[in-house]
Amino acid sequence: MTAEDPLLGMPRNFLRPCVLLLLGEAPSHGYDLLEQLRALGLEHVDPGGLYRGMRAMEQEGLVRSSWEPSDAGPPRRTYELTDEGREWLHAWAGALRDVRRMLGRFLDRYEALSDLAGSRPGARR
């Protein structure tokens, strides 16, 4: 872990709720999800991890897949959300609201501290 790591502090397993959200909006396939995820704020998503995760979520019953031919390129495995997946997404949203609240507490407290310190990065109390 280095200080320059762009993924510092990202929520654990954040890929899953993001995928579920995108599939809640519209069915899609892995390669397309990779691009949509980038737009949602997740840079450098590991393709291998995504495809593995998709199959894991299918086994858990959160998504359902079917092969569909493509106009241009190899066939695609198209995923759609199941009812169970929709419930999971709902649970995730609740958990992430809690996380946001906790981050707020942390940041408020940090700002109070750095105000005391004169708000200079390397300043002592």
Task: Give CA–CA dist 12/106, Å, rounded.
Answer: 17
Is residue 46 close enough to count as binding DNA by CB under 7 A? yes
Q: Which is nearer to its own copies, 1 or 72 (CB)?
A: 1
Judged by CB under 8 A, the chain residues 8 through 47 that form the site for its own copies are 8-14, 17-18, 21, 24-25, 40-41
Q: Which is nearer to DNA, 3 or 72 (CB)?
A: 72
- Do 20 and 93 contact (CB within 8 A), yes or no? no
Which range of residues in 6-14, 30-38, 46-54, 63-71 is near its own copies by CB under 8 A?
A: 6-14
- Do 30 and 50 contact (CB within 8 A), yes or no? yes
Residue closest to 99 by CA, chosen among 3, 17, 33, 21: 17
